[in-house]
Chain A
Amino acid sequence: MEKSLNMKKIVSNNAIIILIVLLAILTGCTTQNFFTVTNFKNLVVNVSPRFIIACGVSGCLITKGTDLSAGRAVGLAACLSAMMLQSLDYSARMLPWMPDIPWPVALIVVMAIMGCFGGVNGVVISVLKVPPFIATLGMQTIIYGLCSLITNNQPMGGYKPSYLTVASGSLGPIPYLMLFAVVIGIYFWFLYNKTRHGKYMYAIGGNENAAQVAGVNVRGSLIRIYILAGCMYALAGFLVGAKAGGASTATGNGYELEAIAACTIGGVSANGGVGKVGGILIGVLVFEILKICLQFLGVDPAYTYIAQGLVIVIAVALDLRKYLQKK
């Protein structure tokens, strides 16, 4: 009796994940080339940047905030990377005066710049007390405007081979992109579980007023969370650009919603204070597997969007139901 109840609970708490796994099995059985190394690699390189974005936004969500500027920040980061890393012999260079710089330097510069945008978000939210939804909505629009301005709305390409290798290369069978994601995953796991910053983050999400009474520097923590988020968008944008071999103002459009949805599917609660890195990874995987499955099944992309939307709403409804039951 006890066991069957537990089974029921496990099924209802993980309904979405179980559905997706079933969908994947179904797709694998009815189509060809689904369970192949190529397809698996394809999944991994798609998941990696999205997982990094989701890690960035997870801190905002755990502290009962959000970050709608994530997608546009990824786009700006991709464009900034492009401007710095175009081949010297490419005829249509955006910045003809830009010297040849190694990609790690460009990455650090982009992370610093996007970290500043994140810092502004953090200050607006924690000091000016603007609701995160509104603050980051504003930032989303501002970043898009800036991006259009600096790129003249021109798409960019002609990257240096070394930059392209960041996305296309692999260490043995493991794509570099996956290595980036693994390092970030371990970093966030450590940060969330083994440091004061992580504990303070969960405390703020659990009860901001109580955290303040307990001596937590709420402002400082929130600002750090949004700065870190900005840095993650920068890294993701850098990787997305390398993977696509080009960037434009449209890069990263809508990524924030995917990331927020993935976090929620992975158990980062919309009520704050709850969320694990492993869960975020599962959330991103669920979303990407859904996309690939529908692609393989030959479903019209329009329906794919509808399915994604449904998954988001159902996931949040199921998440909130867990809390309603407790009352």
Chain B
Amino acid sequence: MSEYRLEMHNVVKTFPGVKALDGAQLNLRPGTVHALMGENGAGKSTLMKCMFGIYHMDEGEVIYEGEKVQIKGPLDALNRGIAMVHQELQPIPERSIGENIYVGRYPLKKLGPLTVIDHDKMYEDAARVLEEVHLNFDPKAKLGSLSVSQMQLVEIAKAVSADCKVLILDEPTSSLTAAEVEALFTIINELRSKGVSIVYISHKMDEILRISDEVTIMRDGQYIGTWSAKGLTTDFIITKMVGRELSELYPVRENVPGEVVFEVEDFTSINPKSFRHVTFQLKKGEILGVAGLVGAQRTELMEGLFGLRNHTDGRITYKGQEIKIAQPKDAINSGIAMLTEDRRATGILGVLSIADNVSIASLNQYLIGGFMLDDGKIEKLVQENVAKLSIKTPSSKTQIQSLSGGNQQKVLISRWLANSPDVFIMDEPTRGIDVGAKYEIYCIIAEMAKQGKSIIMISSEMSELIGMSDRIMVMCDGRVTGFIDGKEANQENIMALATQFE
């Protein structure tokens, strides 16, 4: 038997238009925590989904406990002792915790001629695994009654209940508080001492350096290397992840913040757990970064400002005049644009053409006689934007869903630029976009600011915030906890404000 529990060699996986994995590999030793690192879109999650059988790889092999295996699907993976906690939870909130843990592999018993679910055994077993992950919950409670972080722990309990030998944790701490992270680390250490191999995906350097034994770095779907975690530095990891020196990551910004154009005072959600008493100012030509942990209500605040969520209190002043925003249309008419966080869910019109996607928010500008659309004008607008933002597309009639993430994002930016907004809210503008396209998006943002547009940029990537913002607003648990000048910002002072819980 080899020294590794699981090996993946030369994995290739192609999606329409993208080579997500191109010669990726991973070697897991028993009883270790193995960090898998790389930028968004580097292929970490894809590689793990190949290991877990959600995706089938085009090329490559998996050797599990010395044997070449083919993992047919998640159930097959679970039966072999490979479990995965997904980045995006897939809970069934209306069912009990116990059922969520055992869904798809319920314990069965005979009831006369029928085979039925053994509920008593299921809940007993569930109670035991919950105890193992230090969760004090009634397994019969509805999963929906838990918080997001508690649901995450239930997911881990689910993995533990499968008696796994390999456990994949895909960004497990992204929605956890510091105390919850400690609890998770205790569980991870216990599992490690039992000999479980743990794949740990995270963006948080300090966590990686603390918990992991080995680090594998990926970039653009390729294997970069594996190092022992001891003695690694953050700078070394980032340089390997990005593939170039840090100083070249962001464009030089030539924007000069001017007078205040946009003011928000005492802005409060109708939901008491969401954003409250938010006050900030935005200057002409300024890039205002918005930092915070998951659950800090940054997205909710911006959606509130854009009229997608209701607020009770608060004033929005735009160029000295108070404006009322009850729905997105009001915000758009006032000259505000918003790039939403989830491109697929609230951004692209998937089956529609590039032309339709670019023009949809500004159709009023292309009317002949007040009712008929001028196709020529629309085509001209699309061609201008395709050229200006270098959108790679076969034609303006191509469906937007067939483009890569970066090009989709550029189409959405064009949609808003057609309205010449003065305030542009961008929620995670580079999420799920490859490194090259990211840089192009940064250049577009910098250029917009230079032209005097004011930009609000939410980002969960610390380096992006520090590299792009003139000023950073930090939120914690629905409140603004402080502002930091872009030049003075660093990981420590942002995190200090981002964790200022009441």
Contacts and interface: CB of A to CB of B under 8 A. Distances in A.
Given A196-B363, A196-B364, A206 B350 contact: yes
Contacts of B327: 212
Given A211-B360, A214-B415, A215-B332, A199 B373 contact: yes
A209 B346 contact: yes
Most buried by B among A207, A212, A216, A271: A207
Given A210-B347, A215-B361, A216-B360, A195 B352 contact: no
Contacts of B415: 214
B466 interface: no
Nearest to A216: B360
A273 interface: yes
Interface in B341-365: 345-352, 356, 359-361, 363-364
Interface residues of B, number: 29
A199 B367 CA distance: 13
A241 B125 CA distance: 68
Given A199-B356, A199-B363, A216-B360, A211 B349 contact: yes
A196 B359 CA distance: 10
B328 interface: yes
Contacts of B371: 195-196
B345 A203 contact: no
Contacts of A213: 306, 308, 328, 338, 340, 346-347
B348 A207 contact: yes
A287 interface: no
A194 B356 contact: no
B179 interface: no
B372 interface: yes
A194 B338 CA distance: 27
A274 B351 contact: yes
A202 interface: yes
A217 B327 CA distance: 9
A273 B400 CA distance: 13
B329 interface: yes
Contacts of A210: 340, 345-349
B375 to A, nearest CB: 8
A264 B208 CA distance: 53
Nearest to A207: B349
B349 to A, nearest CB: 4
A323 B351 CA distance: 10
Nearest to B333: A215
Interface in A167-206: 190, 194-196, 199-200, 202-203, 206
B352 A214 contact: no
B78 to A, nearest CB: 23
Contacts of B361: 214-215
A273 B350 contact: yes
A217 B363 CA distance: 13
Nearest to B378: A199
A271 B351 CA distance: 10
A214 B351 contact: no
Contacts of A271: 351
A273 B349 contact: yes
Contacts, number: 75
Contacts of A211: 349, 360
Most buried by A among B351, B371, B372, B415: B351
B360 A199 contact: yes
Nearest to B372: A194
Contacts of B349: 202-203, 206-207, 210-211, 273
Interface in A201-259: 202-203, 206-207, 209-217
B347 to A, nearest CB: 5
Contacts of B352: 202-203, 206, 273
Contacts of B359: 199
Interface string B300-342: 0000001010000000000000000001110010000010100
A194 B360 contact: no
B14 to A, nearest CB: 14
A216 B363 CA distance: 10
Most buried by A among B327, B350, B352, B373: B352
Contacts of B332: 215
A203 B352 CA distance: 7
Nearest to A219: B327
A209 B345 contact: yes
A217 B329 contact: yes
Contacts of A214: 328, 360-361, 415
A200 B363 CA distance: 9
Nearest to A323: B351
A321 B332 CA distance: 38
A203 B351 contact: no
A272 B306 CA distance: 26
B26 to A, nearest CB: 26
Given A206-B352, A212-B328, A195 B372 contact: yes
Contacts of B373: 194-196, 199
A39 B415 CA distance: 51
Interface in B69-114: none
Interface in B224-249: none
A273 B328 contact: no
Contacts of B351: 206, 269, 271-274
Contacts of A194: 372-373, 375
Nearest to B347: A210
Contacts of B16: 326
Interface string A269-296: 1011110000000000000000000000
A262 B346 CA distance: 31
Contacts of A216: 360
Interface string B394-420: 000000000000000000000100000
Nearest to A273: B351
B194 to A, nearest CB: 38
Contacts of A272: 351
A212 B356 contact: no
Contacts of B364: 196
Contacts of B338: 213
A271 B350 CA distance: 11
B336 to A, nearest CB: 10
Contacts of B340: 210, 213
A87 B374 CA distance: 49
A27 B328 CA distance: 57
B416 to A, nearest CB: 9
Contacts of B356: 199, 202-203
A203 B328 contact: no
A206 B354 CA distance: 13
A225 B212 CA distance: 58
14 contacts: A196-B367, A199-B363, A200-B360, A200-B363, A206-B352, A207-B346, A207-B348, A210-B345, A210-B348, A213-B347, A215-B329, A216-B360, A217-B329, A271-B351
Given A203-B356, A213-B346, A274-B351, 16 more contacts: A195-B371, A199-B356, A199-B373, A200-B360, A203-B349, A203-B352, A206-B350, A207-B345, A210-B345, A210-B348, A211-B360, A212-B328, A214-B328, A215-B361, A269-B351, A326-B16
Interface of A: 190, 194-196, 199-200, 202-203, 206-207, 209-217, 269, 271-274, 326
Interface of B: 16, 306, 308, 327-329, 332, 338, 340, 345-352, 356, 359-361, 363-364, 367, 371-373, 375, 415
Nearest first, the 5 closest Cβ-Cβ pairs linking A and B are A206-B349, A215-B332, A273-B351, A214-B361, A209-B346
